[in-house]
Structure 1
Amino acid sequence: MEQIPLFPLEARLTRIDAARNTWRFYEMAVQRDLFGGAVLIRRWGRIGTAGRLRLDLHADEGTAANALGGLLRLKIRRGYRWAGVVS
């Protein structure tokens, strides 16, 4: 089992259940924007597709990283597994 970083700024999660034909991914990354704030970029969907994209604006990188951490805990509780950093 791979150790999840304490304060990740990007993550890739997967949830695979062949019995239920569930092949899902969830990617998150924090990036600075042009106006001094930060954006939490989220992409999710079925493995092998482009998926859906959502951008959440935050005042700074710290609040965006906190939001990423909260989503990471929620997704792991729902059965997603750590698959590494977004490439």
Structure 2
Amino acid sequence: MGKEDACPVHLRRIDPTQNMRRFYTLAIQPTLFGGASVIRNWGRIGTNGQSMMETFDSEDEAAAASLRLERAKRRRGYTASGTTGSS
């Protein structure tokens, strides 16, 4: 909960040649029962997109899953959106 992993990760992939403008957001939030959830939100930039929540028994497991997802998206061409440091 007090880790720096709690910051949401905002990624985007823009390719005008394919008419592609996508976003992907990952966030970790604690559950009511002591676990943690990875919340994913993705879609075309300018829309609400889709969401998925996956729960884990510990925050460490959730952080590992989030990191795996982020690496997979970066391999597919997603980059940081540039506005990830202010709060």
Q: Shorter-chain TM-score category?
A: 0.7 to 0.9
2:28 matched residue in structure 1: 30
1:59 matched residue in structure 2: 57
Is this contact kept in 2: 1:12–1:26, CA < 8 A?
A: yes
Q: Which runs of 5+ in 1 are unaligned?
A: 1-6
Moved over 3 A (4+): 84-87
Name the amino acid aligned to 1:42. Answer: R
Q: Percent identity?
A: 44
**Matched positions, count:** 81
Of 68, 71, 80 in structure 2, the residue corresponding to residue 70 of structure 1 is 68
Of 16, 19, 38 in structure 2, the residue corresponding to residue 18 of structure 1 is 16
Q: Which runs of 5+ in 2 are unaligned?
A: none
What is the TM-score with the length of structure 1 in the denominator?
0.86
SS at match of 2:71: helix
What is the TM-score with the length of structure 2 in the denominator?
0.86
Distance 2:84 2:65 in 1: 16
